[in-house]
A and B are shown apart, each in its own frame.
Chain A
Amino acid sequence: MAETAASPAAAKTPADKNLAARVSPARQLAEAFAAGSLAGAVEIAEVPFLTMVGLRADAGSDAAARLAGVTGGLPAQCGGVVGNGDTSVLWLGPSEFLVVAPTEAHESLGGDLIQALRDALGGDAGQVVDLSANRTTFELTGPRARAVLEKGCSLDLHPRVFKAGTAFSTEIANIPAVLWKTGEESFRIFPRASFAEFLGRWLLDAMREYASPEVP
């Protein structure tokens, strides 16, 4: 930190250097995502390096209550998402949750979220695991986003059933992924890193038809 103050032109903290050296799982698709996105129809982008933490704690236990105190609550049932500012907790199972937070919350960049969760769990039965490198994030937005997802996801994605602010662990294009509806026309998809290229290309293919004029 001291050397950055000495040379403001460089302005590189160790955290910045750490981030600059990382390659996200779908980095090689960035140009294809930009080319395949259609403003006003459906757009896709990767949101790299979100901080993700896997939590396991039995509902109703003291540990769960302490973890809820850090995250601002734990969702109680399938589909539930509890948000607290820019940190959200997704329900994955009756005693399993996924915390999604901005990149800066990671301890390698000076964040204290994961350590706070570890301290909250203490020595009780449960888990706090840094899963930031486990999954990457795709953001699919636009009026056609639901139609694109419906080609490969068997959940009922109609807005009367799938409300904004819910998330489900399911299958998209036959691979396991978490699908989180963040807004009326915006979805976040969390595929595992090893599936990122496959799912990215599958989504691009599914989006392609909306580039051509509609055939009456």
Chain B
Amino acid sequence: MLLIPCPNCGPRDETEFHYGGQAHVPYPENPNELSDTEWSRYLFYRENPKGIFAERWVHSTGCRQWFNMLRDTVSYDIQAIYPMGTPRPDSSSRATPATGTASTAPDSTTTGTAGPSTSTTSTLTTTAPEGATK
């Protein structure tokens, strides 16, 4: 079990928290102008890095406040806790999530269209999420 240092309450068991998914996913400026593909990219497509991951957590049975966390998805090492709305702090392995998966192992399941950069990836994969749209 993780021991998560809540910024308000101090270290508490992981069971007191709920996970909020990837942090820093901006709501689109003009949702009505997005294609279904771009909208589905915003809604459903998230990074799955092997390494440092910025994610949101809420201390649901404590102070009920949200916060951001930098966590290593391999070692579960918690590298930083920072408030909602603040930019991601620099970390030594900052480059890892930017390239999607850092793994070159043959068992890697990700294909290389990394990250939530909707504008570039959506044009390339217009046929991909057919099942997601109607």
Q: Which residues of A contact B (CB under 8 A)?
A: 78, 92-94, 96, 154-155, 168-171, 174, 176
Are A92 and B12 in contact (CB-based, < 8 A)?
no
Query: Least Cβ distance of A198 to chain B in Å?
Result: 15
B61, A94: Cβ atoms closer than 8 Å: no
Q: Considering the complex of A and B, which 7 residue pairs feature the smallest CB-CB distances, nearest first?
A: A176-B61, A93-B63, A78-B9, A154-B13, A169-B62, A93-B64, A171-B61
Asked if B10 CB lies within 8 Å of chain A CBs, one says yes
**CB nearest neighbor in B for A176:** B61
Q: B64, A171: Cβ atoms under 8 Å?
A: no
Residue pair A169, B63 in contact (C-beta under 8 Å): yes
Is B65 part of the contact surface with A, judged by Cβ < 8 Å? yes
A-B contact pairs, 21 of them (CB 8 A): A78-B9, A78-B10, A78-B62, A78-B63, A92-B63, A93-B8, A93-B63, A94-B8, A94-B63, A94-B65, A154-B12, A154-B13, A168-B9, A168-B62, A169-B61, A169-B62, A170-B16, A170-B61, A171-B13, A171-B16, A176-B60
Residue from the list A94, A96, A170, A174 in contact with B12, Cβ < 8 A: A170
Contact flag A92-B64 (CB < 8 Å), given A170-B12, A171-B13: yes
Closest to B6 in A: A78
Closest-CB distance, B57 to chain A (whole angstroms)? 15
Question: Which residues of B approach A to under 8 Å, CB–CB?
Answer: 8-10, 12-13, 15-16, 60-65
- Shortest CB-to-CB span from B68 to chain A, Å, is 16
SS class, residues of chain B in contact with chain A: loop
A174 to B16 alpha-carbon distance, docked (Å): 9
Residues of A within 8 A of B63 (CB): 78, 92-94, 96, 169
Residues of A within 8 A of B15 (CB): 171, 174
A154 to B11, CA, bound (A): 10
Shortest B117–chain A CB gap in Å is: 34
A104 to B63, CA, bound (A): 29
- Tell me the bound Cα distance from A170 to B10 in angstroms: 12
Point out the residues of chain A lying under 8 angstroms from B9, CB to CB.
Answer: 78, 168
A78 to chain B: closest residue by CB: B9
B9's nearest neighbour on chain A, judged by CB, is A78
Q: Which residues of B contact A96 (CB under 8 A)?
A: 63-64
Given contacts A78-B8, A168-B62, could you give 13 more A-B pairs where the C-beta distance is less than 8 Å? A78-B10, A92-B64, A93-B62, A94-B63, A154-B12, A154-B13, A155-B12, A169-B61, A169-B62, A170-B12, A170-B61, A171-B15, A171-B16
Given the complex of chains A and B, what is the CA–CA distance between A96 and B65 in angstroms? 10
A170 cross-chain contacts in B, Cβ below 8 A: 12, 16, 61-62
Q: Report Cα–Cα, A176/B62, bound state, in Å.
A: 8
Bound form: Cα–Cα A171–B13 in Å: 9
* Neighbouring B residues of A174 by C-beta, 8 Å: 15
The distance from the CB of A166 to the nearest CB of chain B, in whole angstroms, is 12
Chain A residues with CB under 8 Å of B60's CB are: 176
Closest approach, in angstroms, between the C-beta of A74 and any C-beta of chain B?
Answer: 14
CA distance A170 to B60 in the complex (A): 9
